Amino acid sequence: MKGKLLVIGLVAALLLAVAGMIAAMDMQASGPAARYLPAGTSPSDLPEPESEGAKLVARHCQACHSVPLPSLHYAEDWQEVIARMRVLAMSRVMAPLPVATPAEERALLAYYQRHAPKPPAAAAAAAAAAEEP
């Protein structure tokens, strides 16, 4: 009787360990989302890595894929991306993730927009303006 309980206990512990490992794998940048972003980025690659914005990125944006650098989108496109990511983060039921508060999300957006590359037209206009005497 005791031996049977021990076996059941061991099997349960094993199942829990496997479930935990699967959940942990999903949390890292090896899940399905990984292939959407260039791999190999880390929080230290972010512009102003010590800034509040970069810290928010490190906290909220690398659970499902590699660290998304601001250079991936023009400023005007980041809002849509970040809103989509919020929905994805909120939909995680099995292994819940910290979801950015509205204030944190505004700071994230401001950070991405501040460091986003200029679209070619805007960059050309800025260069032309800089050349004018």
Site residues for ligand HEC per CB under 6 A: 33, 36-37, 60-61, 63-65, 68, 72, 81-82, 84-85, 88-89, 92, 97, 108
Q: Which CB sits closer to ligand HEC, 106 or 118?
A: 106
Q: Which is nearer to ligand HEC, 91 or 131 (CB)?
A: 91
CB of 1 to ligand HEC, least distance (A): 45
Residue 6 CB, nearest approach to ligand HEC (Å): 39
Q: Which single residue is written with the structure tokens 């009787």? A: 1
Least separation in angstroms between CB 29 and ligand HEC: 10
Helix axes 52-60, 102-115, angle to 10 degrees: 110
